[in-house]
Amino acid sequence: MAKEKTYRINPETLRYEVEKVREHHFLRLAGMVALGLVLFLLYLELYVHVLGLELPKTILLKRENARLSEKVELLSGRLDAYERALGDLGARDNGIYRSVYGLDEIPEEVRGAGFSGVNRYADLEGVKLSELKKSVVRVDVLLKRAYLQSKSYDEVESVAAEAGDRISHIPAICPISTDPTTYHLSSPFGYRSDPMRGYRKFHSGMDFACPPGNPVYATGDGVVIKAEHDFFGYGNNIIISHGFGYKTRYAHLKTIEVEEGEKVIRGQRIGLSGNTGRSTGPHLHYEVIYRNEHVNPYGFMDLTVPVEEYEAILSSAAGDMETGEGEES
């Protein structure tokens, strides 16, 4: 292919003539460009490494980085507050709501667990702002904890709706009058020296030392599943099933005033204290059993309740028995 020719007018002859391209013009232009590039690189070297100055773009990036760091620090502070709030909600949920309704506690390792499996933070690998990555992880964990807490509340709400009168079934009063002149605590829950054999043994309830004939009351609504007259062990004793995992035992009684299969209500008199069975003196042995495990009865009663308030509970129970409401519980 023929090389295109460039024409231009000759001002002297006023004729178009073929323009002769001078290659040295191109070489000169290329040399100037190369020289400019070298001078620019030398300028950068002098500006950055010799004088120790920063480029304008570097300054802008550092300012932006400082601004982002402040935001990350503020976010971290808020996440601390959210974690404390969720921790309080979880403790209250386990200690009050789930406990009241007989639900198992949610272990802390479950509430605060991270995520397994796929790496959700792969896009942050290598990022020098480790605090940013940490905050992203914390947000994900907090979202999971909030979701678990929400599901727990849903479960409590569901059980509460189904339970209805569940609170009245939980053993929540003292089995005898709170009048401190009528009894004294002779033996607490836990390990003790066995009064008859002398060796260390676990005591599964609380002993209320009192004269024979002291009235004994049901501590919650339920059904009598045992009313046994025995000469050994617990002596004359009663076991009430309150439902929702709770049972109570009243032992060493003088008399039993209820029958197996009978429904009872909180504050209803069920017998009189005595000294029957394996006993070293007149007293009431009282147990609380939750999900087939003995628990400390002391946590289910308030011995400082004024006698008037305690007697009001008994009067209410007596009124319910007269109207027949106790038979429907």
- Res. 323: pLDDT tops 50: yes
Greater model confidence, 41 or 119: 41
pLDDT at 185: 94
User: What six digits make up the tokens of 63?
Assistant: 């300012």
What's residue 192's pLDDT? 76
User: For tokens 């920063």, what's the residue?
Assistant: 54
Rounded to whole angstroms, the Cα distance separating 256 from 179 reads 22
User: Which one has a higher pLDDT value, 84 or 270?
Assistant: 270
**Bridge partners (DSSP) listed for residue 269:** 217
User: Count of residues for the chain?
Assistant: 329
pLDDT tens-digit map of 214-265: 999 999 999 999 999 988 899 999 999 998 889 999 999 999 999 999 999 9
Please, what CATH class does the domain formed by 169-328 belong to? mainly beta
Is-contact 252 235, C-beta < 8 A?
Answer: yes
> CA-to-CA distance for 72 and 135, rounded, in angstroms?
7
Dist. CA 212–CA 5, nearest whole Å: 134
Query: According to the model, what pLDDT value does residue 35 have?
Result: 77
**Across the chain, what does the average pLDDT equal?**
81
Q: Looking at the DSSP assignment, which residues form a beta bridge with residue 8?
A: 17
The pLDDT of 201-205, averaged and rounded, is 90
What DSSP letter does each residue of 258-275 carry, written as one string? --TT-EE-TT-EEEEEB-
How confident is residue 140, by pLDDT bands cut at 50, 70 and 90?
Answer: confident
Residue that is written with structure tokens 């009192």 in the block? 210
Q: pLDDT > 90: what percent of the chain?
A: 36
Using a cut of 0.85, tell me whether the model's pTM lies above it.
no
Q: Which residues pair with 30 in a beta bridge?
A: none
The H or E element that residue 285 is part of is strand 283-290
More confident residue, 122 or 57: 57
User: Which residue, 147, 166, 135, 163, is CA-closest to 69?
Assistant: 135
In this prediction, residue 168 carries a pLDDT of 87
CA distances from 273 to 49, 169, 277, 279, 318 (A): 95, 23, 12, 12, 19
Residue 152 in contact with residue 89, Cβ under 8 Å?
Answer: no
Amino acid at 146: A
Report residue 268: phi and psi, to 5°. Answer: -80, 135
Q: Which pLDDT does position 147 carry in this prediction? A: 84
Instruction: Give the dihedral sign, CA 52/58/59/61.
Output: negative
d(CA 69, CA 228): 73
Instruction: Let me know: does 215 contact 177? Beta carbons within 8 Å.
Output: yes
Burial tier of 158 (Cβ tally within 10 Å: 0-12, 13-18, 19+): exposed
pLDDT surpasses 70 at 121: no
Parse the chain into domains and list their residue ranges: 72-164, 169-328
